[in-house]
Structure formats: structure tokens, C-alpha cells
Structure 1
Amino acid sequence: MFFRNDSRALRVLMSALLTSVCIAGAAQARAAAPAQAPGGWVTAWATALQSIPDLSNPPPLYRTPDVAGRTVRQIVYPTVPGRGARIRISNVYGRGPLMLTDVMLARSAGGAATQPGTAVRVTFGGRPSITLKPGAEIDSDLIQTTLTAGEPYAISLVAGAHQTLSAWHRVANQVNYVSTEGDHAADATSSAYPRKFTESAWVSALDVRAPNAVAIAAIGDSITDGLRSSLNRNRRWPDGLAHRLGEAGSAPIAVLNLGISGNRLLSDSACYGEALDRRFDRDALGHAGVGAVILLIGINDINFPSMPPRAGLDCDFPHTAVTARDLIDGYRRLIERAHRSGMRIYGATLTPASLPPAREAIRTAVNDWIRTSHAFDGVVDFDAALRDRAHPGELQRRFDSGDHIHPNDDGYAAMATAVPLDAIVSAARR
């Protein structure tokens, strides 16, 4: 969630890849992945990408770092361990080719530094460089390395001489880095990485070989994205769920955070990404080993119609009014698609947002349907976990980050605790 589009967000089909190596079969476009993925692969970390508004003079929040001929180093935390890894590079929302000349994976040593001797070169069809057409994505070759759950890893990507950013994940809640000019992918020190940014780009998944593992996809808006949680501390509710699963001691289960701040179920936005109804198959169902989905979406659909139009970049456009029935029909479509792919889907109730009466009535009607319709395979009652009992349309004060919409770290922890662990584990493993 995040209140603020341009109808330019693209619905992109998986197109053919053009790699600099032109080797057939290097790309492994993954549509609906079975819970036990071929080869023992499971996605251990993932993010949902979104297009960047295409403006000559964007507002500060949408200005991108200069990446041409530079190395972008991003920090990721796999949620299950594995022997062997692969990285998915995406140009799904690209407006031009994506050229990377070198990619490396290493253990992070904090900040932009990596642990000496841990860097491994990533290849694609045996070659270190790739060029992807707009709309394409590719999985790397097998990376011979061992990954530990919960530990930070640095993915370093060297951009082509004229490369720009046209897509990112804007609210990464993680500090990432851009180098001075040149290939600094193998640098263990941080000295070549003066530029910090809190977005992520190009990498949409990190898979590991873990034959006994499965994954849970958490998909939604800023409440899943973790907006206003502590920077660099992994305090979003999916992080808390991953921690609970790790402590439970069962066979490993990954938790993938596929939230996008400002995202809506039914409408695209120039700022907040493709409608979840359109990105669901790729972002939730398309990762290796996913057996269950937790869906939390709809509050922005309820709110954005009432936001005042803005001159220039209007992130809330189109200001499309919705009813509870519109949202319920959207949920039914997602449920059908998840079931068609052999996956279970849990519906999460919409959290309190201090809404005026007409909008609160829609939220309440949607939550009543989620709880009582039995259309989902189960319910995660985030509303009950966070609401003030005396004022059920409001967050408990101890869980309020200050904007009366987004939880603080304690609120996100309470959400993680509200997920019915045994039921969701059974659903993911079925």
C-alpha cells in the first residue's frame, strides 16, 4: 500500500531470449512451477519488479542511479539453504535490451564488501555476458556454491556501456550499491562502491538446489513489501514467517516476498506496478517449488479513487472506483488460477487503515467474505491481529508506524505470528 500511475505499465508475455551467446536452451522461462520442481530447485529469495515512470525530469523518488558501465551490487538473503544455486535475470519491463558483461555471487561481509575468496562467476550458457530483449528473462547456469539460509549474499552485475534502468523493485528496504565506472564484480572491498540506493534491479530470483524444500509465495502491496519497517533489518512480516518456519525445525520452507508498495489488485500504475491480477502467474506461481500462496491485496483499490488527481506524474491514476464485489471477483480469478496450477492459496484479511465510513464498509465487506466464503484454502486474519478492539477500523497504537496505515516492526512481527503455521506448512507440502 502507498497512496499515489500512468497507464504505461506493461503486460508482458514471456518472449524469446536474445543472449550474447545465442545458445538454445539457456533460458528457462518458468510459468507455473510444481511444488517439487525438476532437479530439486526451489526459489530461496525473490522480488517483484516494476516499471519506472518514463519521464525526462522525474520527481526525486523516481530518479535512477547512473549504471552505465558500472557494477551494481545487491544484497539478498536466501530463506532456505542449498548446494548449488542459480540466478534469474529479468528484463520483463525493459524498454530496451539489457546487457550485462559480468555477474558474480559472493558472501557479503557487510555493506558493499564481500568475504575474500567466496566470489563465484555466474554464467549463461557457458558465457559470462548476456543481452536480453525487452520482455525476456533467463536463469543462469548452475553456480557451484553452498548457500546458508538467513545469511547475506552479494550479487554483482556489470552493466553495459550504455545501460540504463527502466525497471526496479522500488522499496527494497535494503541498501544496495553502485560502483564507479568499470568492472568491480570481483572486488572484495567496498572502496569502489560509493553510491547507495534502496531499490533493486535485474535480479528477480535466487534459486538453490534443495530437494526436500518447498516455497510459500507472499504477494500483495506495501504491507507485504514491508514499507516503514526498519532498513536493512529484515523485519517485514514474510521475514518473520521465514524465521518462525526455521525455528519450527521442519524440512526447509522458503518464504518469497513478492509485495509491491502501492500495488492494486485490479489497476496498473506507472509508479506501483502492474495490477496483481495481471502479474500473479509470473510473480506468485512462476517460481520453483512454490506450493502455497498468501494473498494480501485490495486496500489501495479502495483508497486510490479518492486521491486527488495530480499534475504531471499521477501515481494513483486511473482513479477507478471499486466495490467489494469487484475485489471478490478478482480474488476468485486468482484462486482459480492457483488451483489450476496445483497450488493452495490463503486469503489474508485487509488490515485497518483509518478509512472514512464508505471505504471502511468496503474493507469490512471484503474481510467478511474472506473469512466466511471458504473460497480460499485458508484464511490469515491480519485484521484481527492488528486492529484496536475498541476502534476496529484502526491499528493498535503499539503496532502503528505513525501513518495509521503501515505497521511498525512490532506490527509486522504480530502479522507473522498470525499465520497458522501448521496449516500453511501442510498446504505448501500437501
Structure 2
Amino acid sequence: MTIRALVAACSAALLSQFALPTTVFAADATSAHWVTAWATALQPIPQRADLPPLYRAPDVAGRTVRQIIYPTLSGASARIHLSNEYGKTPLVIEDVRVARSDGGAATVGADARVTFGGKNAVSVPAGGELDSDPVALDVVEGKPYAVSVFVGPEQRIVAWHRVSNQVNYVSTPGDHTADASAAGFRGKFTQYVWVTGMAVSAAPSSAAVAAIGDSITDGMRSSLNQNRRWPDAFARRLAANGGGERSIAVVNLGISGNRLLSDSPCYGDALAKRFDRDVLQRPGVKTAIVLIGINDINFASMPARNGLDCDFPHTSVTAPDLIAGYERLIAAARHAGVKVFGATLTPAALPPSRESIRLAVNQWIRTARAFDGVVDFDAALRDTAHLDRLRREFDSGDHIHPSDAGYAAMAQAVPADAVVNAVVNSTRK
């Protein structure tokens, strides 16, 4: 448990009639080994009256939000992590349940009620986050689970994970957390909100790998509801080759549009700023794979826009700027006992001035030996006749984001043995 989470829990006790007892985190004192099995990263929604439709959140006040997640590690009990990281007012939650999903809004089998300090309802203070009590739940890796959250009558969405590539659901007014039927869930949206993690109680040798980066880790332009992002494919690859008591989860902390060095009104905090919260504080994470930098290179050249300018600030960067940012990540990871692999930046059909930065960064990643390992996504995806471009079969059509086949090739390019060895060495410490 982090100090910040404890402070958040204590603040909630003062702010809400659904106050948490001081023993809410008592489960942390047990011998259970908690490992993050699914996770996502939040980004604030710009707060302005002239938002384009893509940035308008659904109405959730007094309704139930049902979100579909796919854990990548099995366990007999689970904890749900809630975040109000960017909230300005308390996040009021009145009921939470988890059940196996049929892949859509309907659920199958019995559901499990999620409690917080023994209570069904909770108020997460502005800027706070917390874990639930352990929930007796048979979690099976790769299967879909529905996390249903009934919120208070004044609740709004002020932060989300915008590109989930997963259809989630909003109910008609009322508490529909126990509904097995999909009938009450008439609204659909493709973001994640509030629920930012599921951890499972696992064997002591189990651990998680965190994939963090921008839209290419987030899985932009991969097939909706199909889990075709490269971290998904890598999780399946590890599961197929696994066995015995050691299991490794793969969690996706990519944010589309994210940069290493600069915050954005739309695309979240700079990765250098969010790395501690989104990776190092996750239970059981022992290795990170970092793919970030192409937006830092590109956004300086994007035209400024009137109204909402998601690319602001249009900061120019050099290869040494990016390298210094990577070095900060590496230092933070090593201080936390986490291994970090650097991934080469993939081809994006850049003009020569920007392409030279990409090539210089990739050369450093490959040769500097600063990271604990290298994932050469550039070599896996590039057209051998045109090294600044994606291979045609790996191009989704925009010349930047891979196709499903491209994401599959990325998963195959990860040096699985080296990643597993890094995890094993970390868990032995």
C-alpha cells in the first residue's frame, strides 16, 4: 500500500457519509501475494464548454456503469482498484459487483459483491485512490469479467482511459449491478472510468509485466472487442509457454497521444510524470516495457488549433532530450527494484528532420546498454526497402499505427526469455 493511498482513504472518512473505517487496508497486512492482473491508465477530460463529441463523457449520474475487463493472471480472490486521480470532488460509489461476462453487457454465473472496509458504499476523495477488500472470485486468465459500478446522483466523469478498444455500458437510472441481463444497459461507450486495476492473490513466484507508452501500446486502430493489441498477444504468448507455479501477467498502461516529456490537455500526464503511479506502484509489477517518444517528435510540428488543442504544448525535442527522459525512467525503476526494457520507436513515415531524431533515439536504445533489455519493434515492423515506413501488411492504413497483424508481429518481437528471466530475478529479491 502506498502512502498516497492511505492518505486518500483517511480523507474519505472525513468527506463522506460512506466513510471507510481505518481498517480498510487491513488485507495488506496478510500474507497474500497480490499481483496486478489487469490495469489501465487514466487521463483527464478537458473541462470546457466547446468539447468536440469525442471528448464528451456519457451521463452516469445515478446509473450503473458496467465495464468489461480481461485479466491476464488467474487467482481465487481479487481486489478492485478505484481512482479519482483527477477528480475535483469526491467519487461517490454506492455499489460494486464483479461477475463473469459473456463478452457483452450480460453476465453468467453468480456475481460477487465488492466491499470497502466491509461496506458496500465508498467515497473516494478528490485526487485519491484505493483498493477494495479481497473478493472471493474465481478469476481465470483471458476470460472477460464485468465490473459493475453504481454511482451517486451527482456523479460525473471527469477522467477516463479514452481509447479502450472495448465496448462498455451505461444503464438506465438505478442500481443494476446485480442484473445478469443486458436489458438495463442501453448506453454504450468505449472508455474505461474509475476502475483502474484488478489484482489477484497469486503464487509468490507470480508477477506482472507493465507495457507502457502511447497509442501503439494502447492498441489504436486494432479490432474493437478483440484484444488484438500487442500486450494482449504477448500475454497469450507467455500463457501458452508457461506452466508450473510461476505465472506472469501483462498489463497495458498505454495512453493514445501520450508523450514522454510533455503533458497534454487530452492525452494525459507526461509518461515521465505518471511512471511512478501507473507502473511502479502497481502490486506485483516487476518488469516494464517502455515504448514512447514518437509524439514528442511529432507534436512540435502540429499546427496550433483554436479551441481545444490536444497537441499543446508544441514542444520541440532533440534526441538528447528524449534520452535524458529515458534515463530518468530507468533510475526510478531501478530504485523500485523493477527491470525496464526499452523499445525502439516504430516507423511513422516522418520527414527527414524528424526521422533523424527517431533514428538517433533508436541507435541509443540499441547500443547504450542503459536499459535492462531491448525490444526492437522498429526492426520487426519496418519495410526493408523503405526503412522509414511500416511494411504494408503491418500498416493499419495511417502509416503510423500497426494493423492487427502488425501488433501480432510486435508481440513476437518481444524477447520473451529475457523478459521472463528479468521477472524471475526480480521476484527472487
Q: TM-score range by the shorter chain?
A: over 0.9
The match for 1:280 among 257, 275, 279 is: 275
| Residue number in structure 1 paired with 2:124 | 132
* 1:366 corresponds to 2:361: yes
Cα distance, 1:21 vs. partner?
2.6
How does 1:331-346 map onto structure 2 within 5 Å?
331-346=326-341
| Residue number in structure 2 paired with 1:304 | 299
* 1:54 corresponds to 2:47: yes
TM value normalised by structure 2:
0.94
Q: In 2, distance between residues paired with 1:134 and 1:321?
A: 33
Q: Is the 8 A contact 1:400 1:411 kept in 2?
A: yes
Cα distance, 1:40 vs. partner?
1.1
- Percentage of pairs with the same residue: 61
Q: In 1, distance between residues paired with 2:92 and 2:26?
A: 18
* 1:181 corresponds to 2:173: yes
The match for 1:417 among 408, 412, 422 is: 412
| Residue number in structure 2 paired with 1:380 | 375
* 1:161 corresponds to 2:153: yes
| Residue number in structure 2 paired with 1:215 | 208
Q: 2:355 is paired with a residue of what secondary structure?
A: helix
Q: Is the 8 A contact 1:29 1:137 kept in 2?
A: no
The one-letter amino acid of 1:186's match is A
How does 1:325-336 map onto structure 2 within 5 Å?
325-336=320-331
Q: In 2, distance between residues paired with 1:287 and 1:29?
A: 16
Cα distance, 1:252 vs. partner?
1.1
Q: In 1, distance between residues paired with 2:309 and 2:26?
A: 36
Cα distance, 1:329 vs. partner?
0.2
Q: Is the 8 A contact 1:28 1:138 kept in 2?
A: no
The match for 1:74 among 56, 67, 75 is: 67
Q: In 2, distance between residues paired with 1:38 and 1:321?
A: 49
| Residue number in structure 2 paired with 1:45 | 38
| Residue number in structure 1 paired with 2:195 | 203
* 1:110 corresponds to 2:103: yes
Counting matched residue pairs gives: 412
Q: 1:359 is paired with a residue of what secondary structure?
A: helix
| Residue number in structure 2 paired with 1:270 | 265
The one-letter amino acid of 1:312's match is G
| Residue number in structure 2 paired with 1:89 | 82
- For 1:224-249, what per-residue CA distance to the aligned partner results, in whole angstroms no more than 9, with x for missing partners? 00000000000000001000000102
| Residue number in structure 2 paired with 1:397 | 392
Q: 1:280 is paired with a residue of what secondary structure?
A: helix
The match for 2:91 among 85, 98, 120 is: 98
RMSD: 1.5
Q: 1:99 is paired with a residue of what secondary structure?
A: strand
- For 1:340-367, what per-residue CA distance to the aligned partner results, in whole angstroms no more than 9, with x for missing partners? 1111100000000000000000000000
How does 1:23-38 map onto structure 2 within 5 Å?
23-27=21-25
Cα distance, 1:57 vs. partner?
2.9
Q: In 2, distance between residues paired with 1:49 and 1:323?
A: 27
Q: In 1, distance between residues paired with 2:67 and 2:212?
A: 21
Q: In 2, distance between residues paired with 1:29 and 1:386?
A: 45
| Residue number in structure 1 paired with 2:136 | 144
Q: In 2, distance between residues paired with 1:262 and 1:119?
A: 36
- For 1:83-142, what per-residue CA distance to the aligned partner results, in whole angstroms no more than 9, with x for missing partners? 1101001001112110000000000023100014x2111000000001111110010001
TM value normalised by structure 1:
0.94
Q: Is the 8 A contact 2:221 2:402 kept in 1?
A: yes
The one-letter amino acid of 1:175's match is V
Q: Is the 8 A contact 1:83 1:147 kept in 2?
A: yes
Q: 1:230 is paired with a residue of what secondary structure?
A: coil
The match for 1:261 among 243, 256, 266 is: 256
Q: In 2, distance between residues paired with 1:133 and 1:142?
A: 21
Cα distance, 1:157 vs. partner?
0.1
| Residue number in structure 2 paired with 1:6 | none
Cα distance, 1:56 vs. partner?
1.7
The one-letter amino acid of 1:26's match is V
| Residue number in structure 2 paired with 1:295 | 290
- For 1:249-278, what per-residue CA distance to the aligned partner results, in whole angstroms no more than 9, with x for missing partners? 232100010000000000000100000000
- For 1:392-422, what per-residue CA distance to the aligned partner results, in whole angstroms no more than 9, with x for missing partners? 0000001000000000000000000000011
Q: In 1, distance between residues paired with 2:139 and 2:295?
A: 37
The one-letter amino acid of 1:318's match is P
Q: In 1, distance between residues paired with 2:143 and 2:262?
A: 36
Displacement over 6 Å in runs of 4+? none
Q: Is the 8 A contact 2:206 2:248 kept in 1?
A: yes
Cα distance, 1:38 vs. partner?
5.7
Question: Which structure 2 residue ranges, 5 or more long, are not aligned?
Answer: none
Higher helix share: 2
Q: Is the 8 A contact 1:175 1:232 kept in 2?
A: yes
Q: Is the 8 A contact 1:28 1:139 kept in 2?
A: no
Q: In 1, distance between residues paired with 2:25 and 2:123?
A: 12
The one-letter amino acid of 1:141's match is D
Q: Is the 8 A contact 2:98 2:111 kept in 1?
A: yes
Q: Is the 8 A contact 2:68 2:103 kept in 1?
A: no
Cα distance, 1:60 vs. partner?
0.5
Q: In 2, distance between residues paired with 1:288 and 1:261?
A: 24
| Residue number in structure 2 paired with 1:22 | 20
